Amino acid sequence: MTQDLLIEIGTEELPPVSLHGLASTFACGIAAKLTENGIGHGPATSFCTPRRLAVLVVGVETRQAQREITRRGPAVVAAFGPEGNPTKALEGFARSCGVVVTDLAREQSERGEWVVFRTIESGQATSQLLPRMLEQVLAELPVAKRMRWGTGDAEFVRPVHWVCIVLGDKAVPAQVLGVYAGSETFGHRFHAPGPLRVTHASLYPQLLRERGFVEPSFEQRRALIVAQVQQLATTHRVTADLPPGLVDEVTALVEWPTAIFGSFDESFLSVPAEVLIETMEKNQKYFPVRDADGRLQASFIAVSNIESKCPEQVIQGNERVIRPRFADAQFFWRQGLQQPLDAYFDRLESVVFQDKLGSVADRGRRVGTLGNLIAGATGDDPQLVERAAMLAKCDLATTMVTEFPSLQGIIGRYYAEHSGEASAVCAAIEEQYLPRYGGDALPPRGCGLVLALADRLDLLIGTFGIGITPTGAKDPYGLRRASIAVVRILVESPLELDLKWLLAATEANFPEGVVGPGTAEAVLAYILGRLNGFYQEHGVSADSVASVIAAGGTTLSQLDRRIRAVQAFRSLPAALALAAANKRISNILAKNEGSFDSAAQPDLGLFSDDAEWHLWQRICELEQAIEPLLQRQDFPAVLGRLAELREDANLFFEQVMIMSNVPSVRENRLVLLKRLQALFMNVADISFLH
């Protein structure tokens, strides 16, 4: 027999950012516990609002199925004496099972024959098991910090006010988190504050919608909010910004959403749009609106949690609370305009970046010097890069960035434009932070790209140089993110710059004694170590990456072309055979390292087999054929030509005894193999492929 199961935990307002994740984990946890306890069930649907976590599971078996329990006792050889009489070990096992010896059975296994006890265990009622399962699921929820309330010992993310557990049409008695469960839920705090009885688990969502003024489904509530906002925007002939994160957060803040349209004084539009948007979205959870040309309008759309009989008062209240925030922003903005941006640089002298690495101003000067050097290699204007580096962090000393830290760079660009700085410098001040996260856009080629690269290199060398490295638990300076940014800038731009040279130049840019010896090599190894994860996200096999790194080279843009060529090479019919041949070559050469001159030329007079001559001729032919391809860095074409060696390599290994008893012949054949290996090492050590 099956019934639908409803479990609801009613609380004070839950954290909006984590609400949906908590609800999903809660539903999955209940379903998993049912399965773990041998209780069959259908799909589990999660529900959540600011005041509740709930799950509705259909088709839950009302009792565990019977199951056979088998206990293994002593081995047969130890269970019976020479005359077949039970030993004390067997008798003790029978007593522990509550039976006599004759009730026991035997079981054959790979390790011999054993005495076993088999019995049928009746399943428990699901209603009896639910309280314990629920407590376990609640204890395992990913809650960063739990709280206590009242005089009890219960702990949860927020104080619990009610628990509703209904199996079919019956309430399941239980005490959960210090609260006695029943069949009552509660609707909207203002529209339906009284208790609502759940007469059947399956009627739960309908009950809340029709009588509780609550939309319990996160997904349906979200869709309702989007539809209301878009409809309201259409009515007022504007377009609303609907960032997914903000929509999710608003969904987690309301139970009965009602969109309203408000406005503010147009004089506030003199403040940069990003500041107004930051205030509306982050502080007030409002949706900004724009005209047909994308210009921010002096209006907003908010989502209220009540269906008011006087919506005008709700609108006025929302307009009133945002006014002082905009007024403060306008004051801070105008205050920053009273002096040019470079006037803030002196303030950075007293802002410590890191005790051992100096002030933010010190770092700006280092980045400027390094940027000047990089600009010389990329063909950009070194003076513009140096100027951008000096101004890059000046906005950190402004009140605007103090109040709106997430807008650093953006505020700097506005102030630089107002100060009359070159357009490339203004853009670079904002672009230095790109990419901010995985998948974010890179700065376009030019001053901003050079500044972004120099900034990350200085950060990596500086922190590694004083012993600060990322761990599995901590990365306070965002070094993983910085290293991936370096990879992306060099690979995706692309910049034909040697990473080893860049890191050595960055290390030399620090005052003597600040960073430890070998820092550049440590950072190089760290960045190369990040390539595997970077390429896996692009569908490239780990061994393709390893094969190219093993072949050497530290110009990442070139490494990228080689890695992608190897990934394509894998699909060729000859790839696996050549990889196996190269693996064999690598093993032979590694075992005989130092026993021959690896830089020597083969002595043609020592060739005694046609397969040797043929392989040598093919090597010489392909060396000439791939030279122009290597100069053009056409690595797919190089590997395509080298794939022709498959039959020649196989024939050589079949017909030639490499480890000849004659030392000179053996060494000559090892030299030939080294020359063959060198052809592939122009691109990759394909012995890594499997």
Tens of pLDDT, residue by residue over 20-61, are 999 999 999 999 999 999 899 999 999 999 999 999 999 999
Q: Measuring CA to CA, which residue among 393, 391, 459, 396 is closest to residue 422?
A: 391
Please tell me the CATH code under which domain 574-688 is placed. Answer: 1.10.730
How confident is the model at residue 151, as a pLDDT? 86
How confident is the model at residue 50, as a pLDDT? 97
pLDDT in tens, 226-272: 999 999 999 999 999 999 999 999 999 999 999 999 999 999 999 99
Per-chain mean pLDDT for the chain: 95
How confident is the model at residue 81, as a pLDDT? 84
pLDDT in tens, 554-602: 999 999 999 999 999 999 999 989 999 999 999 999 999 888 888 899 9
Looking up tokens 């696996």, which residue turns up?
A: 576
First and final C-alpha spacing in the chain? 53
Long-range contacts formed by 369-373: CB under 8 A, 24+ apart = 369/509, 370/454, 370/457, 370/458, 370/505, 370/506, 370/509, 371/450, 371/451, 371/454, 373/505
> What is the C-alpha R_g of the chain?
36
Q: What is the value of pTM for the model shown?
A: 0.83
Q: What burial class does residue 392 get, using C-beta atoms within 10 Å of its C-beta: 0-12 exposed, 13-18 middle, 19+ buried?
A: buried
Cα-flanking dihedrals φ and ψ of residue 10, to 5°?
-95, 130
**pLDDT band of 454, cuts 50, 70, 90:** very high
Q: DSSP of 324-366, one letter per residue?
A: HHHHHHHHHHHHHTTS-GGGGGGGGGGSEEETTTEEHHHHHHH
**pLDDT band of 70, cuts 50, 70, 90:** confident
Q: Measuring CA to CA, which residue among 314, 279, 316 is closest to residue 296?
A: 279
How confident is the model at residue 184, as a pLDDT? 97
Q: Quick one: CATH architecture of 341-539?
A: Orthogonal Bundle (1.10)
**pLDDT band of 520, cuts 50, 70, 90:** very high
Neighbouring residues of 687: CB distance < 8 A, sequence distance ≥ 6: 547, 579, 582, 583, 585, 586
The SS3 call for residue 307 is coil
69 pLDDT more than 90: no
Instruction: Give me the residue spans of the domains in the chain.
Output: 2-64+125-211, 67-121, 233-336, 341-539, 574-688
Per-residue 3-state assignment (H helix, E strand, C coil) for 294-306: CCEEEEEEEEECC
Q: What share of the chain in percent tops pLDDT 70?
A: 100
640 pLDDT more than 80: yes
438 pLDDT more than 90: no
67 pLDDT more than 80: no
CA distances from 434 to 334, 416, 440, 481 (A): 27, 18, 7, 11
Cα-to-chain-centroid distance, residue 183: 41
Single-letter amino acid code for the residue at 598: S
How confident is the model at residue 110, as a pLDDT? 79
Instruction: Give the CA-trace dihedral at 571, 576, 578, 582, to 10 degrees.
Output: 130
H-state helical runs in 493-609 = 499-508, 519-536, 542-551, 556-569, 575-591
Q: Measuring CA to CA, which residue among 569, 502, 575, 563 is closest to residue 535?
A: 563
122 pLDDT more than 80: no
**pLDDT band of 679, cuts 50, 70, 90:** very high
Q: Quick one: CATH architecture of 2-64+125-211?
A: 2-Layer Sandwich (3.30)
Query: In angstroms, rounded to a whole number, what is the distance separating the alpha carbons of residues 189 and 181?
Result: 20
Q: Measuring CA to CA, which residue among 167, 190, 223 is closest to residue 34?
A: 167
Per-residue 3-state assignment (H helix, E strand, C coil) for 414-482: HHHHHCCCCHHHHHHHHHCCCCCCCCCCCCCCCHHHHHHHHHHHHHHHHHHHCCCCCCCCCCCCCHHHH
Query: In angstroms, rounded to a whole number, what is the distance separating the alpha carbons of residues 86 and 80?
Result: 5
517-539 average pLDDT score: 96
**pLDDT band of 472, cuts 50, 70, 90:** confident
Q: What share of the chain in percent tops pLDDT 90?
A: 87
351 pLDDT more than 90: yes
How confident is the model at residue 108, as a pLDDT? 85
How confident is the model at residue 85, as a pLDDT? 86
Q: Which residues of 158-172 are buried (b: 16+ CB within 10 A; e: fewer)?
A: bbbebbbbbbbeebb
492-512 average pLDDT score: 97
539-546 average pLDDT score: 96
More confident of the two residues 472 and 689: 689
446-463 average pLDDT score: 98
193 pLDDT more than 80: yes
How confident is the model at residue 156, as a pLDDT? 96
